[in-house]
Amino acid sequence: MNARHARVLLVALGLVTVVDLVSLAAGYDTGHTVAKPLLMPLLALYARVCGGPRLLVAALLFGWGGDVLLLFDAEPAFLAGMASFAAGHVCYLLLFRQTTALAGKRPPRARATWPTAAAYALALVTTVVLLWPGLPADLRVPVAGYSLLLTAMAYGAARLGLLAGAGGALFMLSDTLIATGVADWPQLPRPDFWIMVTYIAAQYLLARGVLGALGAQPALLATYRERRTLTT
């Protein structure tokens, strides 16, 4: 890992994050429009420089696609953005499965139990049932399907460890805030600020959780790379 490059990228990510959040808090749309598309590419570069696997980079770049598409205030763009995020969740799920398989056992602090699964299932059902009447008819099934995939990703992240689990939970919160806006629920002041602060934290924690899990076992990251080389 090139530590210097990683630090530079992390500082750049922090600065762009501040610009984006301050712009949202101040209602400066231009600042948000410029800063938002830079966030996930910087995080993806950081993850790659830290030795992150391709699936992690792909998940973050699919997030970037969703970020850009959601800048457009149109239903086709919203659906395309949701599809891009869904592809990112699939990447995360595949990555979580490969990471735990390579480790040969669950990471030390990963203790996802039936209560965890039940809590996520309850959150999924409750959210969909409550949002369903307020959603446009043509968005109900896509949003429900996306919510199922998002919940599966969040549960998979919880099995990987504390950081990834927190990231998955925050991703659910961020997307739920978006969905409440689509369903015309009352919103917090500056709703986009809260959506972005939870989303940025979610993606960062997921990335750090994956990198930490891969680095938790001796030679695990090297083994991951060898397996990827054999399968590509």
pLDDT for residue 218 = 36
pLDDT digits (tens, 9 = 90+) for 175-198: 999 999 999 999 999 999 999 999
Residues 135-157, mean pLDDT to the nearest whole number: 96
State percent of the chain over pLDDT 90: 77
State residue 223's pLDDT score: 46
CA atoms within 13 A on the CB side of 94: 15
Band of pLDDT at residue 112, cut at 50, 70 and 90: low
66 in Cβ contact with 88 (< 8 Å): yes
Give tens-digit pLDDT for 32-83.
999 999 999 999 999 999 999 999 999 999 999 999 999 998 999 999 999 9
Task: Give the Cβ contact number of residue 146 at 10 Å.
Answer: 19
Give the per-residue pLDDT at 98.
86
First and final C-alpha spacing in the chain: 22
